[in-house]
Chain A
């Protein structure tokens, strides 16, 4: 369901969508759904939320989300109080995560950061509850992102 909902997105390369489920017999086994944008496109997280909401995952299910981790390219701006990654119509506010301090050091010494990977705030919890909460913050143009990785241009 969730994998199909993601694959239906215009900006997602449907051939890239890969559902992995950890082996075992128990219910509610952990897994991942990985997806990649079509060449030149940018994945719209709000559209993914809308698409998943249109499935039965918005109703009675105990399936849940642990995290949504994205990789984004863009322009990094370091201010006195925060570091942000600017996107068209949206700003990812970079927050504490495993690689946040390293990223801040890299930006401070003038390294050119080419992409940032991080977990999007709000994408966790039981599907119906999470989808309802995300709908309330839909359209918000400042989205917190906990930094888990980044890449810099080679010098």
Chain B
């Protein structure tokens, strides 16, 4: 097969390229350039740095495969960065990695692969594609510590047909071992955890310099008692403790953000607990499933048992078996049946309050 491999310059995608090549596939490596400075310069931290594409190029040279850098900066800026800033301005908690997979990476990438007569695309994500030859299912990675299926929930059975995740059955230590045995220089490279376009900087500062959200306002409790002032609602997300005046006895959390009046509401952990919420713009891998469901409401957290009720074809009400806290509007609710990913959508803010009052 001719396979287009997305190479970030990290160890995971390096190994994917190496594995596929050693299995006899014709591998073409590409780095998607997503983000650049105002004058076209490469970021210095995070992923997508000049050093990262340099690493990817070296790995491609070592594997003796063609390698290209594709420019997706315009699409990324429009779909991910603008959205990221917009979400904070609306008091929501964005997930740029999901947004990027959703509206930039896979669409462009699969399209590009098709044009270059590639049979499949492959990435270094930890997730598993299971198929009976007709239907394609997305499952959690065998190595649960690194499972990334959450950020891939928007991939439909049709898209999965065109995708390979060769790391779905391999553990991270094994990946490093393979990289070392292939002589790849990325074998012991540190994983990047930062938001690629913010890097080591504080995201609050990133947002603050880009839009005029620095409107001061009050921090209040549910009875409108004032606890202090804040420098802009973009510095807060629901469930956050940072930036709240202390000394109130039990720890306080952000419970709600009132954008119109620039007010940040705080309360106890109990006030954050909810049982019902709405997910919108929901997509399913195949068809909606309603039994034995659990839902994961942020990356790297547990999935909680739940039931869902259809409001319309892309909006669903989620009822948790047990009340929980830490459900942040803007993040994604991803539905699983055991290890199988069923679908997911964005957690809505408005209806959240109404449902839990």
- Genuine A/B complex: no
Chain B residues engaging chain A, CB cutoff 8 angstroms: none
